[in-house]
């Protein structure tokens, strides 16, 4: 069950200035906001979150090249990842870390991932802000892309800094659970975890996407069921997916509308489970005493040949799934989504808040002889 410290309510006085969430699911305690993380963090109440995971810009978009799937590709990810110079980059890191420190609970902790291009600035900013540094995790990628210049070692790791809010914090650490995952030994700070698998990239891939397994380990190590998690650089929503699977509450923020949309598609695929059943009715047009299986007649074409057909029926059904009662509360046959929504608004269920609408299409074809 969720703890009493739930996701900030947008109707509460402290959070009145928060924008309307791009996605909200009160049943699973999920809120996703689109906007600048500094703006959103400034409007969240202080001492709110049990855990923060952040994957900030690495400032790598410098017109260089890298190898992806055996092909030479540009490292440019977007203007958000372009370096403004060491001083400006560090000032940005210090600003968002200070904002995260304000909303972190006294005994909360924060995890920040990055490559050598950004992680040293993050670590120094944490020292300046007097976080309590706990560990630096080396995430080892078993099959990293080759180094095309042949002038450096292959980049096979990323660093994840784990820190508590301050020196007085009594952070959460599920030592015994981590020991069990490590096969009965103390878990080391070197984690070998494969990059995102194909099912994690089914709806699209973020250039710095993290594997669900990595986020699940972080959440299992330093948070409990019902804890409130924040991701100020949500990207493709891996932290939100991991939080949902491990029964944590989550607030995510991202500036880019395109990544928000991909996150929503990914989240909805985990939130919606549809069960279809089909009823097969066997019909025999022959008299019972003289029933013949004509499919085996020498006069008929072979089953493997293409069979000409004629559409005899098409049906579109729309199923409205409630927000509180996570089940189909209204269904209707309609030609378009607009027509289905109008029928829903005229129904007895119109006052019910809807989270999803599922559309199905059924077509029946009559097989014809050549």
Q: In this structure, what are the phi and psi dihedrals at residue 56, rounded to the nearest 5 degrees?
A: -75, 170
Q: Which pLDDT value is given to residue 294? A: 46
Alpha carbon distance 226, 203 (integer Å): 28
177 contacts: CB under 8 Å, gap ≥ 6: 220, 221
Question: Would you call 113 helix, strand, or coil by DSSP?
Answer: strand
Q: What is the pLDDT of residue 14?
A: 47
What's the pLDDT score for residue 76? 46
Residues near 23 by beta carbon (within 8 Å), at least 6 away in sequence: 30, 31, 32, 260, 263, 264, 267
**pLDDT value, residue 303:** 45
CA-to-CA distance for 320 and 323, rounded, in angstroms?
10
Strand pairing of 23-25 and 71-74? unpaired
**150: its two tokens:** 């042949």
The half-sphere exposure of 228 on its side-chain side, counting CA atoms within 13 A, is 22
pTM over 0.85: no
Q: In whole angstroms, what is the distance from residue 282 CA to residue 172 CA?
A: 61
Q: Can you list the domains of the chain with their CATH numbers? A: 13-271 (3.40.50.150), 305-367 (no CATH)
Q: Quick one: three-class SS letters along 4-49?
A: CCCCCCCCCHHHCCCCCCCEEECCCCEEEEECCHHHHHHCCCCCCE
Residue 2 is predicted with a pLDDT of 39
> How high is the pLDDT of residue 28?
85
Q: In the numeric block, which tokens belong to residue 244?
A: 């949902």
Query: How high is the pLDDT of residue 264?
Result: 85
Burial of 188 (0-12, 13-18, 19+ CB in 10 A): exposed
User: How do residues 308-350 score in pLDDT, each as one tens digit?
Assistant: 777 877 889 999 988 877 888 899 999 899 999 999 999 999 9
Q: Identify the pLDDT of residue 160.
A: 97
pLDDT at 275: 58
Q: Quick one: pLDDT at residue 30?
A: 93
Strand intervals (E) in 40-131: 49-54, 65-68, 71-74, 104-114
Q: Are 155 and 147 in contact (CB under 8 A)?
A: yes
Residue segments in the chain with a per-residue pLDDT below the cut of 70: 1-16, 60-83, 148, 199-201, 203-208, 272-306, 368-370
Residue 58 pLDDT = 81
């Amino acid at each position: 069950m969720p703890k009493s410290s739930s996701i900030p309510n947008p109707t509460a006085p402290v959070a009145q200035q928060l924008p309307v969430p791009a996605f909200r699911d009160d049943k699973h305690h999920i809120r996703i906001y689109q906007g600048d993380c500094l703006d959103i963090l400034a409007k969240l109440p202080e001492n709110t979150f049990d855990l923060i995971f952040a994957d900030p810009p690495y400032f790598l978009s410098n017109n260089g090249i890298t190898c992806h799937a055996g092909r030479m590709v540009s490292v440019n990810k977007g203007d958000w990842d372009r370096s403004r110079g060491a001083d400006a980059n560090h000032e940005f890191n210090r600003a968002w870390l200070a904002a995260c420190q304000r909303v972190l609970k006294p005994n909360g902790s924060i995890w920040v991932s990055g490559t050598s291009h950004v992680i040293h600035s993050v670590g120094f900013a944490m020292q300046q802000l007097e976080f309590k540094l706990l560990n630096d995790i080396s995430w080892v990628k078993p099959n990293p892309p080759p180094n095309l210049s042949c002038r450096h070692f292959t980049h096979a790791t990323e660093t994840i800094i784990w820190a508590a809010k301050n020196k007085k914090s009594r952070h959460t650490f599920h030592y015994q659970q981590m020991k069990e995952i490590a096969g009965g030994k103390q878990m080391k700070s070197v984690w070998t975890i494969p990059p995102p698998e194909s099912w994690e990239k089914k709806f699209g891939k973020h250039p710095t996407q993290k594997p669900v397994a990595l986020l699940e380990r972080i959440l299992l190590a330093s948070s409990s069921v019902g804890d409130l998690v924040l991701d100020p650089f949500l990207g493709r929503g891996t932290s939100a997916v991991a939080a949902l699977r491990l029964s944590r509450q989550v607030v995510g923020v991202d500036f880019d509308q395109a990544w928000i949309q991909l996150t929503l598609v990914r989240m909805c695929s985990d939130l919606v489970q549809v069960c279809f059943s089909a009823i097969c009715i066997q019909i025999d047009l022959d008299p019972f005493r003289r029933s013949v299986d004509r499919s085996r007649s020498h006069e008929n074409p072979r089953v493997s040949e293409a069979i000409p057909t004629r559409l005899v029926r098409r049906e579109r059904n729309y199923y409205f799934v409630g927000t509180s009662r996570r089940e189909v509360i209204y269904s209707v046959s309609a030609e378009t989504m607009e027509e289905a929504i109008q029928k829903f608004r005229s129904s007895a269920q119109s006052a019910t808040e809807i989270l999803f609408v599922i559309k199905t299409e059924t077509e029946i074809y009559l097989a014809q002889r050549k």
